[in-house]
Amino acid sequence: MKNSEELIALLHLKELGDHNFSGNSVSIGSPHVFGGQVLAQAVHAAYKTISKNRYLHSLHSYFLEAGDLTIPIQYLVAEVRNGGSFSTRRVTASQNGTTIFILAASFHKKEEGFEHQINFPEVKKQPEELMSWDDMLQKFGDFLPKSTKAFLSIERPIEFKPVRIPNPLDPEDLPPNEQVWFRLKGKKQTLDYRTKQEILTYISDYNILNAAFNPNASKFNFGNTQTASLDHSMWFFRDFNFDDWMLFSAESPNAFGARGLAKGNIFTRNGKLVASFAQEGLLRPKKK
């Protein structure tokens, strides 16, 4: 995928009737289906059963099996509840009769109320001062480990600019956090809030486990550690636009027992808090 248009096409599913949907997959460099893709496609399926005046405000999900990139994923939506203000949906994703993912999502009608939000975090550099993944590949590609070069070589619809770039040839332990600027590639377009939420859900599964890796980065990396998303939760707060850079800011309070926890927030460049997220991932050192 090269741009946001192709990403939106991927997230849109084929309707099979009776709240059943089917979607295809695109690799992001892993041999298995990207968790963010399944998340976003499941949100899209749930939205197909929701009235137009209600919007996703929270989701909670579990990744149960690795997805096969070569066969379609089937999504079945169950209408759990339709209340006066909230609607709840359960989405089950499966391949060849095996459940690979489950999602619970809640949708809320627009209402007025009081508000507050945390401050925009301190960021050492603005995106114009940083290199993107594409820039790093072009400048350092001949010196990078094969696995890192292969990952960066994948075409993506999102441009990422990490605030801190670790040296893969001289790894060191880092603080348990991660900040990444991101924006969509392709032509700027007017998107409805539902589509923006689906895209942001897709993006939220990138970079998140780096925060849990960082304190042990001198010894462990994605090459010598088995990794997988175990669960993923998100909360959506305010509408936003993809017309400028946005900040993904994560921190990890704990890693233990071959699992790491990361949580954080997503802000617009002008400081508006649009969503929060949390994920626990498998971080299992590979046996030599």
Six token digits for residue 97: 């009769």
- Identify whether 229 is a catalytic site residue: yes
Cα separation, 142 vs 254, in Å, equals 35
**Which backbone phi and psi does 236 adopt, to 5 degrees?**
-110, 135
Beta strands at 86-95 and 98-109: parallel, antiparallel or unpaired: antiparallel
Q: For the chain, which ranges sit under pLDDT 70?
A: none
Active-site option among 25, 61, 252, 279: 279
What is the predicted pLDDT for the residue at 140? 85
Cα separation, 148 vs 145, in Å, equals 5
- Identify whether 279 is a catalytic site residue: yes
What is the predicted pLDDT for the residue at 22? 98
Q: Are 186 and 3 in contact (CB under 8 A)?
A: yes
Q: For domain 4-111+126-285, which architecture applies?
A: Beta Barrel (2.40)
Locate the DSSP E strands across 127-208. Answer: 158-162, 177-184
Q: How many CA atoms, within 13 angstroms, populate the side-chain half-sphere of residue 105?
A: 31
Exposure string for 185-199, b = 16+ CB within 10 A, e = fewer: bbeeeebeebbbbbb
pLDDT tens track for 102-146: 999 999 999 999 999 999 999 999 999 999 999 999 888 887 878
**Which backbone phi and psi does 69 adopt, to 5 degrees?**
-70, -20
**SS3 label, residue 135:** helix
Active-site option among 74, 87, 106, 205: 205
Q: Where are the domains of the chain?
A: 4-111+126-285
- Identify whether 27 is a catalytic site residue: no
What is the predicted pLDDT for the residue at 169? 78
Active-site option among 106, 229, 249, 252: 229
